[in-house]
Structure 1
């Protein structure tokens, strides 16, 4: 067995720059011969770039060892990516963090767009959680917001534009995949800012939560088959909701709305539920995330964690890391949007 005190010194030494002699001495007093050889090979391979985190979250988990995230990433390998931006008018800043986690492949995607349309500042944020493959989530990243910004009533009747665009993009995806044997799908949790109005549109079980005057308020409700209204809608269309480890449409899909999923399309629609909010001084920040976060972090906990960081990128990273250390078995993607009510026209972040 490992001695926790010596192990912690070894862990800190790898990422903290202690002297090599002290580090090897710590290892030598902590491990048996076989484990010592394994850790030594690992340190030689990763060198000073290997950092460790100790999860102090609970007595049961205390002393658990997890490899920490890299400082940055572009997500090209499907593993990890993070970054941050500010809107041109300085009213919003955002950060994102996306991590493959314990899954063998990455099926989450995200999209952030900021522009001016008809003289109106618009900002769009989206988290897309694929299932059965990544193609549906990738299609949404490529097309959903582009389609929305081209809608003729985007700035004049935003709710209608969002509803029509979601359903049209779903049909476009099904057409694009009509000659394949794949039948993957995706959620979409989106936040659309048009001037001083916020529109949150949701399909599936990704989620958006706002911190308003210190209180966590969900702006979307997960589309689960056992929701009474969703179950009634599915059964009225001739479908069934069955228990198979969890409640599933046709005993297959654990959410009641999604893009794609051709074989269940009669029951699993891509019609979004939309909430509209007028932004005021009480709005502090917004968290959008895939269920890789929400499975292990409650709404209030996510907001509290995000509020401890000044920069939204750091907040998004903290949420992703927390979900991973708490045992999330899924891909984890977070976007944090912070409101700046008194700042005006700062430089856009690189």
Structure 2
């Protein structure tokens, strides 16, 4: 940290005033993928603009001049350590048929999405793509979405500058394409839940339609990056009823255990074409986050995993295994095997993305000192017990 002389500060403030206080928020700038919805962006008065391939940063002049203190310097150092973080991605995956007669889960891991489909980006940073697809009624829908959704995202006009819009449109477009392309009845009668995670620079975007789940480990604390779309969710229940649907015995229209999915076009009254919208939605819910050094890894799992693991329990289990061997693929295998030991009856699929080369650090739990005492009644009971 340096202190500028008064003349230089005044000159810079005059230059900043000429910016007319305009704010522009592109998604791609200087190697970082930015979004106005970023949860960890603390400086609400900053704006970034791309001008002729260069970066212009404008800062509003409403900030007060503050004296420099040791506490402020320490806070700045901690902030820089957290935000000046470049994740090093490692991924692993594992799946098992579990207690089912057929395997309907599938998954995908693509280290560089744009390069994989021949798309050239301004940024040298790769766009990493991970997905878990939990099929039902057959594997037709889950395999179709796995094979087509990544390309549809890359070919969307908003990729990657308007990534959130591109992902949402791609979910809907892939769902419509599945309905049109199915010539085999066995494929048409299937559906799939979909959860994808895209990482560009320090930014993580999770898109979910269904009951797969993504959970982030932040220094050992579970941060849920998605919400399960099930009929018991009050928000989903209100959406369904507003569209003419209903919940019967915990099932959407008495037929389906999830409220968002791709496919399932064969179910009457679930999806409508044209202006009418059915209660079963293919539109994903999105969550964006800026990764910091405290973010350790992301777990993406089909609902077979979450039937036997809580979010925090899965983070604790994976963290211990990574501390033992630091092998992300082996860790996924151990999560699936543990799920089967716990009596999982569904297909199980898990993808784990680590943001560090090193294993997660050990957590030091501070235990408060508790003064223990025994009541008079307890003391009398103990005395009688000893005396026989």
Q: Tell me the TM-score normalised to structure 2 length.
A: 0.63
Which residues of structure 1 form unaligned runs of 5+?
1-88, 344-350
Question: Following TM superposition, where does structure 1 have runs of at least 4 consecutive aligned residues deviating by more than 4 angstroms?
Answer: none
Task: Look at both structures and tell me which one has the larger radius of gyration over its CA atoms.
Answer: 2
2:129 aligns with: 124
For residue 108 of structure 1, what is the aligned residue in structure 2?
105
What stretches of structure 2 of length at least 5 have no aligned partner? 1-85, 272-277, 360-388
Mapped partners of 1:195, 1:161: distance in 2: 18
Tell me how far apart the structure 1 counterparts of residues 339 and 209 of structure 2 sit (CA, whole Å).
Answer: 22
Contact map agreement 2:108 2:131 (CA 8 A) in 1: yes
Is the Cα contact below 8 Å between 2:204 and 2:288 reproduced in 1? yes
Displacement after TM superposition at 1:342 (Å): 8.3
In structure 1, what is the Cα distance between the partners aligned to 2:232 and 2:304? Answer: 20
C-alpha distance in structure 2 between counterparts of 1:223 and 1:259, whole Å: 13
Alignment size in residue pairs: 252
Matched, 1:338 2:354: yes
Alpha carbons 1:110, 1:141 under 8 Å: kept: yes
- Matched residue of 1:193: which SS? strand
1:289 aligned onto 2:295: no
Residue pairs, 1:45-56, within 5 angstroms: none
Distance 1:257 1:121 in 2: 30
How far off its partner does 1:178 sit? Answer: 6.1
1:175 to 177, 180, 183: 180
- Which whole-Å CA distance do the structure 2 matches of 1:283 and 1:98 have between them? 25
Pick aligned residue for 2:345 from 315, 319, 329:
329
In the alignment, does 2:335 pair up with 1:319? yes
CA distance in 1, matches of 2:331, 2:224: 18
User: How far 1:322 moved relative to its partner?
Assistant: 0.7
Q: What is the alpha-carbon distance in structure 1 between the residues aligned to residue 237 and residue 183 of structure 2? A: 28
Match of 2:260 among 257, 261, 271: 257
Partner residue of 1:145 out of 134, 141, 150: 150
1:307 aligns to what? 319
Q: Could you tell me which residue of structure 1 aligns to residue 242 of structure 2?
A: 236
**CA deviation digits over 1:309-332, x for unaligned, max 9?**
211101111110011110000000
Cα pair 1:200 1:274 within 8 Å, conserved = yes
Superposed CA offset, 1:284-330 (max 9, x none): 01000001100001111111111122111011111100111100000
Counterpart CA distance in 2 for 1:197 and 1:312 is 21
1:99 to 96, 100, 103: 96
Query: Greater share of strand residues, 1 or 2?
Result: 1
How far apart are the structure 1 equivalents of 2:87 and 2:334?
23
CA contact 1:197–1:278 (8 Å) conserved in 2? yes
Q: Is the 8 A contact 2:90 2:357 kept in 1?
A: no
CA shift, 1:341, in A, is: 7.1
Contact 1:192 1:200 in 2 (8 A): yes
Q: Relative to 1, partners in 2 of residues 1:154 and 1:329: Cα closer, same or farther, differing over 3 Å? A: same
Q: TM-score, normalised by structure 1?
A: 0.69
Displacement of 1:177? 2.1
Once the two structures are TM-superposed, the CA of residue 228 in structure 1 deviates from its matched residue by 1.1
